[in-house]
């Protein structure tokens, strides 16, 4: 999303109209596909979506988030010992910043920390500010923006001699397909300088049943998270999706090693997007693809870093839920 970066808490966005226009245009493009209809996953995270995501992280089936938390609980001191000094911290897609607190705690024992969370969701950023805002020796400035625009803003604030640590946690990299993930890491690398660090979390391949349950929990929280995207289109773009005529679907593509979330139309239906003055038709059984979560193996993650201008310093693994935390340095 090409949103202009803005400091969180700066009041009503001067670019709100442009953001709505961009949302509308992305929705129209995604629903106009002649083959698979799609909606970009970044739009899952409005205020409701971000709150639902926080609940997903509590679900027993969604082991991914707890694995990331356990690793940071166990390894933060070691990670910090491998980082250059002084270092500022920029986090891509911080969400509520719960995990990050653990790392910042360890780092703040060594130095005062400037922490810059970057998130497209203003409400996630507010939670992050609540979570981290009171920490001793940590100051926080949030950027409500897309990843790369935010990172550019942060890099422009670096002091002479200061390094950057970029956090990309929660295996959010998995939302990109593999070529786009490479391209994204290359863009991140371009903003960084040699010796800067990237801590990248990656969910690893595991049995399909375990993966599908993580994205289709019996309590229906993930279904609500997915369905909220249509509700958001209704709220913000004056559309008339009938949510009762859709169901949440999670499927695993073995070739691509990814879980896909879709919304399946239960009937033939017509949808109007008022702001765009456009109409779309869905057949019974047709789906709208809303999110991908790619799964990795450890060697592939090292190679992904090497292909995109980094070297892997260390990987840490969780024993309960196959998941890796990978520390890279820009070369």
Closer to ligand SAM by Cβ: residue 50 or 287: 50
User: Min. distance of Cβ 270 from ligand SAM in angstroms?
Assistant: 30
Of 133-141, 167-175, 231-239, 281-289, the segment contacting ligand SAM by CB under 6 A is 167-175
As a whole number of angstroms, the distance between CA 257 and CA 295 comes to 6
Q: Judged by CB, which is closer to ligand SAM: 45, or 116?
A: 45
Hey, what's the torsion of the CAs at 238, 243, 249, 250, to 10 degrees?
50
Should residue 174 be labelled a site residue for ligand SAM when binding is judged by CB under 6 A?
A: no
In angstroms, give the least distance from the CB of 286 to ligand SAM.
25
- Identify residues 132-151 at the interface with ligand SAM (CB under 6 A): 146-147
CB of 268 vs ligand SAM, minimal distance in Å: 32
* Residue 98 beta carbon to ligand SAM: minimum distance, rounded to whole angstroms: 7
Q: How far is the CB of 210 from ligand SAM (least distance, A)?
A: 18
Paired sense of beta strands 138-140 and 143-144, if any? unpaired
The CB-of-271 to ligand SAM minimum distance in angstroms stands at: 24
Tokens of 66: 């707890």
Task: Of 150, 49, 110, 149, give the one whose Cα is nearest residue 141.
Answer: 150
Residues 213-242 within binding reach of ligand SAM (CB under 6 A): none
**Cis before 86 (ω within 30):** yes
Number of amino acids touching ligand SAM (CB under 6 A): 22
Binding ligand SAM (rule: CB under 6 A), the pick from 61, 75, 119, 131 is: 119
- Whichever of 141 and 269 has its CB closer to ligand SAM, that residue is 141
Tracing tokens 């929280």 back to the chain, one arrives at 221
Piece of 10-18, 29-37, 91-99, 310-318 that binds ligand SAM (CB under 6 A): 91-99
Minimum distance from residue 248 beta carbon to ligand SAM (Å): 17
**DSSP reduced 3-state for 237:** helix
Q: Which of 126, 172, 222, 308 binds ligand SAM (CB under 6 A)?
A: 172
Q: Is the dihedral of CA 316, 318, 319, 322 positive or negative?
A: negative
User: At its nearest, how many Å lie between ligand SAM and the CB of residue 267?
Assistant: 31
Distance of closest approach, residue 172 Cβ to ligand SAM, in angstroms: 5
Find the binder of ligand SAM among 24, 61, 71, 94 (CB under 6 A).
94
Closest residue by Cα to residue 104 from 148, 154, 165: 165
Please name which of 100, 117, 99, 120 lies closest in space to residue 57, comparing C-alpha atoms.
Answer: 99
Residue from the set 27, 71, 124, 199 that interacts with ligand SAM by CB under 6 A = 124
- Rounded to 5 degrees, φ, ψ at 133 are -55, -30
Residue 313, classed as helix, strand or coil, is: strand
Instruction: Indicate whether 65 belongs to the interface with ligand SAM (CB under 6 A).
Output: yes
Q: At what angle do helices 147-155 and 178-191 cross, to 10 degrees?
A: 20
Residues 4-63 that bind ligand SAM (CB under 6 A): 42, 45, 50, 53, 57
Residue 249 neighbours by CB under 8 Å, 6+ apart: 216, 261, 262, 263, 264, 287
Find out whether 124 and 45 touch, Cβ atoms under 8 Å. Answer: yes
d(C-alpha 330, C-alpha 163), whole Å: 11
User: Of how many residues is the chain composed?
Assistant: 331
Based on the shown chain and the rule CB under 6 A, indicate whether residue 258 belongs to the binding site for ligand SAM. no
Q: Which residues bind ligand SAM (CB under 6 A)?
A: 1, 42, 45, 50, 53, 57, 65, 68, 93-95, 99, 118-121, 124, 146-147, 169-170, 172
């Amino acid at each position: 999303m090409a949103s202009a970066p803005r400091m969180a808490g700066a009041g009503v966005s001067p670019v709100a109209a442009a953001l709505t226009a961009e949302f509308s245009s992305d929705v129209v493009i995604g629903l106009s596909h002649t083959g698979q209809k799609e909606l970009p996953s970044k739009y899952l995270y409005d205020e409701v979506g971000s709150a639902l995501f926080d609940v997903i992280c509590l679900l027993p089936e969604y082991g991914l988030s707890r694995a990331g938390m356990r690793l940071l609980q166990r390894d933060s001191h070691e990670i910090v010992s491998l980082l250059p000094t002084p270092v500022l911290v920029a986090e891509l897609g911080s969400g509520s910043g719960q995990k990050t607190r653990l790392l910042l705690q360890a780092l703040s024992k060594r130095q005062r920390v400037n922490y810059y969370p970057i998130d497209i969701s203003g409400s996630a950023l507010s939670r992050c500010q609540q979570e981290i805002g009171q920490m001793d020796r940590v100051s926080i400035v949030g950027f409500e923006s897309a990843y790369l625009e935010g990172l550019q803003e942060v890099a422009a604030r670096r002091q002479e001699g200061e390094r950057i640590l970029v956090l990309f946690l929660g295996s959010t990299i998995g939302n990109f397909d593999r070529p786009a993930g490479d391209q994204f890491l290359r863009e991140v690398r371009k903003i960084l300088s040699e010796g800067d660090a990237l801590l990248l979390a990656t969910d690893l391949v595991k049995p399909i049943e375990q993966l599908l349950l993580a994205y289709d929990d019996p309590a229906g929280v993930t279904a609500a998270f997915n369905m909220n995207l249509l509700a958001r289109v209704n709220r913000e773009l004056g559309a008339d999706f009938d949510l009762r005529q859709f169901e949440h679907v999670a499927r695993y593509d073995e070739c691509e090693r990814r879980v896909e979330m879709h919304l399946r139309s239960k009937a033939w239906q017509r949808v109007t997007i008022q702001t765009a003055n456009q109409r779309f038709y869905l057949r019974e059984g047709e789906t709208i693809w809303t999110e991908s979560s790619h799964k990795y193996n450890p060697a592939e993650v090292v190679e992904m870093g090497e292909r995109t201008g980094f070297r892997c310093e260390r990987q840490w693994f969780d024993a309960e839920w196959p998941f890796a935390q990978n520390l890279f340095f820009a070369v």
